[in-house]
Amino acid sequence: MEMKLTFLNAGDAFAFEQGHNSALLEFDNTNLVIDFPATNRAALRKLGMDLGDVENVFITHLHEDHINGIQQFAYFNKFVTGRKPNLYIAEDLVDGLWETVRQGLLYGVGALHTIEDYFVVKTLKQEQGFVIDDIEFGIVKTKHFEGMSSYGLLAKKYFYFSGDSLVDYDFLTKIHPSVQTIFHDVHLKDINIPVHASVKDIKKLPQEIQEKIFIMHYHDEYVDKEKRERFEKEKNVQIAYALQQFVF
């Protein structure tokens, strides 16, 4: 069975030249998008797709650069395609997501709406998995902002996608033998940012783990291919970029 992961964009919260970090997974019979920023639509159209072609969504956490496209996505499918995409989301994020988009989605034609009027909500308990097209996924609690729930996505035998996260050395050491690739949030700036991993952080990992890591969620300076490749060579790292594809 083949699975393809395409970065729709790889930018951080303040990215302008590139869109916010998100990835499209394509399976034999369906697809899944990790997070849904508003910049996703332009990226999908570059791939010959649109909002109505996305069948499943997974939300890592509730910062606006990861969910600010949810309202448009919900409305498009309700009024254009007439269908409900599946929304995979940790149980402690559901109420917060609805509160964030509620004022835009509450008022329907002739009735008040709930999140279930727009999505088939697949609520996930911590450490609970789900299956799409015979591929098993698990959600992984991550460390981002203190007191804020955030999750990574583990596709067993294939990859780990950290979402916004500090480096969890014990977890990465544990899972790296069973995955081919690790997509990890790394900010690339030469300053301390206490809620995102740094290059110095990932350099503390064993070399065999570092070799599996592709950096994502970074600022616009490295949209430039020449700068990005020079940084990769100088730091001995790998950086994901918009529309880059990985086949598993």
Based on C-alpha coordinates, what's the Rg of the chain? 18
Q: Which two tokens stand for residue 49?
A: 């797709």
CATH of the domain at 151: 3.60.15.10
Mean pLDDT by 10 residues, the chain (248 residues): 95 96 98 99 99 99 97 97 98 98 92 97 90 96 88 96 97 98 96 89 98 98 98 98 98
Q: Phi then psi for 137, rounded to 5 degrees?
A: -125, 150
What domain count does the chain have?
1
What per-residue confidence (pLDDT) applies to 192? Answer: 84
What pLDDT score was predicted for residue 194? 81
What is the CB neighbour count within 10 angstroms for residue 150?
A: 25
* Percentage of the chain modeled with pLDDT above 90: 91
- Cβ atoms of residues 196 and 186 within 8 Å: yes
DSSP H or E segment with residue 202: helix 199-202
Model pLDDT, residue 42: 98
Phi, psi of 90 (to 5 degrees): -60, 145
Half-sphere exposure of residue 50: CA atoms within 13 angstroms, side-chain side? 6
As a whole number of angstroms, the distance between CA 65 and CA 189 comes to: 19
Residues in the chain: 248
Give the pLDDT of residue 139: 97
Q: How far is CA 34 from the centre of its chain?
A: 4
Backbone angles phi, psi at 243, to 5 degrees: 70, 5
Q: What is the pLDDT of residue 152?
A: 97
d(CA 60, CA 88): 9
Rounded to whole angstroms, the Cα distance separating 176 from 127 reads: 17
Domain extent for 99: 4-247
Q: How far apart are CA 244 and CA 220, in angstroms?
A: 16
* Phi/psi at 141 (5° precision): -65, 130
Q: Would you state the pLDDT for residue 148?
A: 85
Q: In this predicted structure, what is the pLDDT of residue 47?
A: 99
Helix (H) or strand (E) holding 235: helix 225-235
Do residues 83 and 75 lie in contact, with contact meaning Cβ atoms separated by under 8 Å?
A: no
Return the pLDDT at 39.
99
The conformation of residue 178, written as its DSSP 8-state character, comes to G
